[in-house]
Amino acid sequence: MITPTRRFNAYGMVWCSRVPSLVLCVVLAFFCSGCFWMAVGAAGGVAGAVYVMGKLKDEVNYDVSTVHKATVAALAELELKVLEDKSDKVTAHVESEFSDGEHVWINLESLWGSRTSLTIRVGVTGNEVRARKIHDAIKRHLS
């Protein structure tokens, strides 16, 4: 336990505590380390797809094979050619390309039960508009 200390200033003796300084340091460390933003992203993931650091991330209530089939169908609907297609029972990886040469990476990972993590990245630095179009097409094929 941290005990208060006595200090003197122009108005006389003042009781001080180190607790506010410690709390401030912990809060600053939390914000600066990225933990806060990760928690915000996780909370946003519950509500829907979240675009963070050039990647569109979502969790869907389907198994990996179902989401993989929907992904391939969505890419065909959008007339995107599939360059690479790897899948097993736990993960899947699909690569595609837009007609202008912008690359697309789609990763699927089984979380638990029939829940799957879906990550879409378009281009090296990310293209949110195109990623959301692909995401919407995948969701349509899952419905």
Judge contact between 107 and 92, C-beta under 8 A.
Answer: yes
pLDDT of res. 8? 66
Averaged pLDDT for residues 103-126: 92
Position 135 in a domain: yes
pTM: 0.66
Instruction: With respect to residue 110, please indicate whether it lies within any of the assigned structural domains.
Output: yes
Residue 27 has a pLDDT of 74
CATH number of domain containing 136? 3.30.310.80
Q: Do the domain assignments include residue 103?
A: yes
Rounded-to-integer distance, Cα 69 and Cα 141, Å: 9
Q: Is 95 part of any domain? A: yes
What is the tally of structural domains in the chain?
1
pLDDT at position 56: 93
The kind and range of the H/E element at 138 are helix 128-142
Arithmetic mean of pLDDT, 33-38: 60
**pLDDT tens digits, one per residue of 75-108:** 999 999 999 999 998 999 999 999 999 999 999 9
**Residue span of the structural domain in which 84 resides:** 49-142
Quickly state the pLDDT bin for 5 (edges 50, 70, 90). Answer: low
DSSP secondary structure letter of residue 107: E
Kindly tell me if the per-residue pLDDT of 45 is higher than 50. Answer: no
In a domain, 74, yes or no: yes
Q: Position 86: which residue type?
A: K
- Residue 3, domain member (yes or no): no
